[in-house]
Amino acid sequence: MKTQRTKPHEYRVLREMNNKNAINVIAPSANRVYQIVEYEDDQIRDELATLDPGKLVTLELDRIGKRSNVWRANWPEGVKSLVSTS
């Protein structure tokens, strides 16, 4: 199983961030859900926390651990906002 999605990909927010700072997103192109539980910095976490379900975002993800579907969200190079303009 892949441990990184280092190229920026577009994801759709499935539901709002929960009280444990976890958020689920889906990759529309692969129809695969990712549970994000760690963040590169507070700014990326805070921006994701403000998004409503259905919003598109651009992220890079790194897998955390070996046995579960949990990921770390990273800023794509040169991106100032996660919200997709498309």
Judged by DSSP in three states, 46 sits in: helix
Which residues share a beta bridge with 56?
Answer: 12
CA end-to-end span of the chain, whole Å? Answer: 29
Q: Is residue 81 part of a domain?
A: no
Q: Is residue 57 part of a domain?
A: yes
Look at the chain and report how many structural domains it folds into.
1
Q: Is residue 33 part of a domain?
A: yes
Range(s) of the domain holding residue 25 = 4-74
* pTM (two decimals): 0.85
Check residue 86 and give its pLDDT: 47
Which residues share a beta bridge with 59?
Answer: 9
CATH of the domain at 18: 2.40.50.140
As a whole number, mean pLDDT of residues 34-42 equals 96
Q: Is residue 21 part of a domain?
A: yes
What does DSSP assign to residue 81? Answer: -
Higher per-residue confidence, 86 vs 4: 4
Phi, psi for 49 (deg, rounded to 5): -65, -25
Q: Are strands 4-13 and 56-64 parallel, antiparallel or unpaired?
A: antiparallel
